[in-house]
Amino acid sequence: MDGNYYMIHDYLIFFGVFAIFFFLTVSIYLFSQNERLKNKNKKLSESNKLIEHKLNEFQLEHIGTKLNPHLFKNILNSVQSHAYQTYMSLDKLANVLDYILYESNNRFVSPKEELSFALSLIEINKIKVNPLFDFRIKSKIDKSDSIFEEKIFAPLITVDLIENAFKHTDFLAQDSFISIVLELEGGVFSMKVSNKASLKNVLHKDHSGFGSQSLDQRLKMIYTNFYSLQKNSKNGIFTAELTINLGEFYDKMRYS
């Protein structure tokens, strides 16, 4: 009986050691497979991010190729419509065209450059406005802001809101107006544009949808959660307000 007892005891020890060895082997194998899957998923994730990045760049380039000729056409139409004022507008026109030709191809420009462009574009558009027209522009720019000269502003972001205000305003209405407010303070850029909307232009939008779509696409692709764009129409007055937290976006770019 003692012999059987020791034999059973030895078998139990053997099977216990075997079970532990088997468990360790399976655990090591599963761990290695898990690590391989993690590495594979990581590589796939990196590949997807690279593809997404390339796609965004392609989309932005595609938008740019359609936007620039559209902008050129509107600018030249404005100048041509009032030829007698062309001489006074040549300086502003030169600044705008230089910006479009040389700066708009960059991924980012400084707020200083974009705001200078926006003000010049406004002056050119004012050529076709009656001198007695109620036109209001307010610029509150903190030039001492730390991001004022940083390459953080997507070029031509301000174009759509400015052009739409001039394009869709009822200039014949007695209470018609255009109001543009540009602000940069505490790293936050804001732009508010209001105008008396023309019912005719609202009902007959001829090739006018691209600008608005391109603005929404660019803002979403570039500034993701660091912007807001609000549009509303009330009592015949259309208002669009764009806010971009350039300071927080700049911090993200520096530390990512």
Look up the CATH number of the domain holding residue 156. 3.30.565.10
Domain count, the chain: 1
Give a yes or no: residue 21 inside a domain: no
Q: How many CB atoms lie within 10 A of CB 118?
A: 22
Count Cα neighbours of 180 within 13 Å in the Cβ-side half-sphere.
23
Residue 81: pLDDT over 70: no
The answer as to whether 8 is a domain residue is no
More confident residue, 210 or 114: 114
Beta strands in the chain (DSSP E): 134-141, 177-185, 188-196, 227-234, 237-245
Residue 169, domain member (yes or no): yes
What are the tens digits of pLDDT across the range 54-65? 556 645 555 554
Query: Which of these ranges, 141-150, 185-194, 208-217, has the smallest mean pLDDT?
Result: 208-217
Pairing mode of beta strands 227-234, 188-196: unpaired
Amino acid 137: pLDDT: 92
Does the structure show a pLDDT above 90 at 109?
yes
For residues 67 and 211, the answer to whether their CB atoms sit within 8 Å is yes
- pLDDT, the chain, mean: 76
Q: Of 86-100, 188-202, 213-227, 239-253, where does mean pLDDT reach its minimum?
A: 86-100
User: Which sign does the torsion angle of CA 41, 53, 148, 125 carry?
Assistant: negative
Q: Give percent of the chain above pLDDT 90.
A: 33
CB-count exposure of residue 97 (10 Å: 0-12, 13-18, 19+): middle
Tokens 């559209």 belong to which residue? 70
In a domain, 99, yes or no: yes
Work out the number of other CB atoms within 10 angstroms of the CB of residue 71: 20
pLDDT value of residue 44 = 54
Looking at residue 175, what is its pLDDT? 87
Q: Which residues contact 123 (CB under 8 A, 6 or more apart)?
A: 89, 92
Q: Is residue 1 part of a domain?
A: no
Alpha-carbon distance 192 to 203, whole Å? 23
Chain mean position to CA 39: 33
Asked whether residue 201 is domain-assigned, the answer is yes
The two structure tokens encoding residue 64 = 């740019």
Helical H segments across 129-233, by residue range: 159-167, 199-203, 209-223
Confidence at residue 210, expressed as pLDDT on a 0 to 100 scale: 38
- pLDDT bin (cut points 50, 70, 90) of residue 204 is very low
222: in domain? yes
Q: Note down the domain range covering 150.
A: 31-255
Asked, for residue 14, whether it belongs to a domain, the answer is: no
Under the banding of pLDDT at 50, 70 and 90, the label for residue 207 is very low
Which range scores top for mean pLDDT: 17-21, 111-115, 131-135?
A: 111-115
